Structure 1
Amino acid sequence: MDIVKELLALYDLEYKAYSSKINPTVPQETIIGVRIPKLRRLAKTLLKAAKQADKSEITQVNAFFSELPHKYFEENLLHAILISEMQVFNELVEELERFLPYVEDWATCDTISPKIFAERRPEAELLAYKWIKDSHPYTIRFGICVFMSYFLGDWFKVKQADTIVAIRSDEYYVNMMIAWYFATALAFNYEDVLPYLKDQRLAVWTHNKTIQKAVESFRIKPEQKEYLKTLRIPVRRKAVSK
């Protein structure tokens, strides 16, 4: 199978326009326009072939993993989906470490969701702490996403939130993920997370975005939303000189 040829055959012009709109940082000429369900079906086909292959041969999945950087946006999404399905933890981490420096958009970043992390939380936690200290914005975003996906509820630790709240970045997609993390954490660990907003420990934009996302969430109670609204920080607009 020629993976790029398969992707090009799955293009959808209407979806390409939509995908281009919601992924403004992705070079438009690299977007084919392939819907996620079709990418997942292609991934399933590749993984089935890899499973049936002789252990001594290089599978198409392994060959695809080595072809970095990819040309097309959908190649990166497919890469993210394939990584998420890996079952051998050490091999997963190796591929993640190789792929993350090439991730340059929120969609690819957020598509990486290794199922095995739910079974290997102690190791995943240590990796997440490392990733959020990286210099690459989407590696940082992915590290925060790991904490949000696997370490809320019974797995929440104040140390995790303390580390995330200390992040200061000029990157929009890093700050948006910080806000998303705290808004989601409010739904699962409201009493633990509320002090971060009451004490205004987040940057102003991220603080207010956290409240906005929490108020929009169906998982936050109405009375909690009303209180959160009172914690918004007024932002003064700069006077425009005439």
Structure 2
Amino acid sequence: MIRQVSAERLQQAQDTGYQAFQKRLIPGKENILGVRMPVLRKLAQEIVCGDWRAWLDDPAPDAWYEETMIRGIVIATAPMEQCERFARTADFVPRIDNWAVCDGVCASFDLTDRAAWWDFIQPYLHSMEEFHARFGAVMALELFEGQDDLQRTLEALAGVPAQGYNARMGVAWALSMCGVRFPKQTLDFLEQSGLDTWTHRKTLQKMLESRRLTGDFRVITQQSRNKLKSTEKPKRQTG
């Protein structure tokens, strides 16, 4: 009954225009109602204020993309011990089958205990599974705070073995954010990292897309990207 009520609330909040927009952003994902993120966060908070364990433990499958997003946000924000949060997060990660749920949920966690979270994401950073690896990469970015974290973050991201499109894009995005904040160190690292050419090029492209990259570093980044001649892209994985 709890899950039924939340599903009804989602259907009432449907925006068909936004639904069409989201379907373009998340190719192949059809079970999208089209509910905006602020509404999803509000519904998640209402669940957190009630019997959130009963909601999470209801065996009914997630019928909608939005239900999976809410599930992840509830796991990230409900009051629980860290060991339970880690266990529930580990159970949740296999449900991730698109970049939007991955990135939206990763941004919802309280990462105060950064050392424990860094240890927790290590298996995902070493996973060959496309969305497990993207989860690890995006969480590494969420944990990244500054220069003290830079080298370990760069090395962890460059070492992600998964080859799925969404995994490589997650790695490139995370590396580019390191590059925008610390362009010299990141560009120097990329030159000697052995990172595959496609991900390297995407990293430089995303650095160039950021308005925060300015001056000589923008010129150097463009020059570095121009040197990478390969146009091969990783194949999208489905299923």
Q: TM-score, normalised by structure 2?
A: 0.86
In structure 1, the gaps of 5 or more residues are 51-58, 238-242
Amino acid at match of 1:63: A
- 1:63 paired to 2:64: no
Amino acid at match of 1:218: R
Equivalence for 1:211:
204
Equivalence for 2:219:
226
- 1:111 paired to 2:111: no
- 1:19 paired to 2:22: yes
Asked if 2 retains the 8 angstrom alpha-carbon contact of 1:101 and 1:136, the reply is no
Per the TM alignment, residue 205 of structure 1 is displaced from its structure 2 partner at its CA by 0.9
Residue from 76, 81, 97 that aligns with 2:73? 81
User: Which of these two proteins has the greater Rg computed from alpha carbons?
Assistant: 1
Render the CA deviation track for 1:50-90: whole Å, top value 9, x for unaligned. 2xxxxxxxx2x222322364121010111122122134322
Equivalence for 2:165:
172
Residue from 6, 24, 45 that aligns with 1:3? 6
Amino acid at match of 2:181: F
Relative to structure 1, the CA distance from residue 9 to residue 17 in structure 2 (aligned partners, 3 Å threshold; closer, same or farther) is same
Inter-partner Cα distance in structure 1 for 2:60 and 2:208: 40
Equivalence for 1:43:
44
% identical aligned pairs: 23
In structure 2, the gaps of 5 or more residues are 233-239
Per the TM alignment, residue 200 of structure 1 is displaced from its structure 2 partner at its CA by 5.8
Asked if 1 retains the 8 angstrom alpha-carbon contact of 2:48 and 2:78, the reply is no
Inter-partner Cα distance in structure 1 for 2:60 and 2:136: 21
Residue from 172, 175, 178 that aligns with 1:182? 175
Render the CA deviation track for 1:100-155: whole Å, top value 9, x for unaligned. 011111111111134321x1001011112122123432121111111111124144
Asked if 1 retains the 8 angstrom alpha-carbon contact of 2:128 and 2:162, the reply is no
Asked if 2 retains the 8 angstrom alpha-carbon contact of 1:101 and 1:139, the reply is yes
The SS at the match of 2:110 is helix
Q: Which moved more, 1:128-137 or 1:139-148?
A: 128-137
Amino acid at match of 2:142: S
Q: What's the RMSD between the two structures over aligned residues?
A: 1.9
Render the CA deviation track for 1:168-202: whole Å, top value 9, x for unaligned. 33311101011111110012233332223323622
Inter-partner Cα distance in structure 2 for 1:68 and 1:184: 38
Equivalence for 1:34:
35
Equivalence for 2:236:
none
Asked if 2 retains the 8 angstrom alpha-carbon contact of 1:89 and 1:116, the reply is no
Render the CA deviation track for 1:27-50: whole Å, top value 9, x for unaligned. x1x1111111111111122222x2
Relative to structure 1, the CA distance from residue 36 to residue 212 in structure 2 (aligned partners, 3 Å threshold; closer, same or farther) is same
Per the TM alignment, residue 156 of structure 1 is displaced from its structure 2 partner at its CA by 1.2
Inter-partner Cα distance in structure 1 for 2:231 and 2:40: 45
The SS at the match of 1:201 is coil
